Amino acid sequence: MTELILIRHGETDWNRELRFQGQVDVPLNATGHEQARRLAQRLMAERLAIDHLVCSDLIRTRQTAQPALAALLPQLSLDALTDPRLREQHFGVVDGLRVDDIKARHAAAWAQWQRFDADGGMPGGETARQFHARVMEALRGLAHQHAGQTVMVVTHGGVLDMVWRTARGLGLSGPRQSDIPNAGLNRVRLQGDAIEIVHWADTQHLAGLPAQPVYDQTRLQRSTEGVTRP
Binding residues: 8-15, 60
228: helix, strand or coil: helix
Judge residue 104's burial from the number of C-beta atoms within 10 Å of its C-beta, 0-12 exposed, 13-18 middle, 19 or more buried. exposed
Q: How far apart are CA 74 and CA 54, in angstroms?
A: 14
**Under 8 Å CB-to-CB from 160, ≥6 apart: which residues?**
6, 8, 178, 180, 186
Residues identified as active-site: 9, 88
CB count in 10 Å sphere of residue 171: 9
Please answer whether residues 2 and 149 qualify as being in contact, where contact means their C-beta atoms are separated by less than 8 angstroms: yes
What letter would DSSP give residue 32?
A: H
Binding residues for substrate: 8-15, 60
Q: In what order do the strands lie in the sheet with 194-202?
A: 52-55, 150-155, 2-8, 185-191, 194-202
Q: Give the contacts of 174 (CB within 8 A, at least 6 positions apart).
A: 116
Residue partners of 126: CB distance under 8 A and separation at least 6: 89, 90, 91, 92, 134
Q: What is the DSSP secondary structure assignment for residue 208, as one 8-state letter? A: T
Q: Residue 204: in which H helix or E strand, if any?
A: none
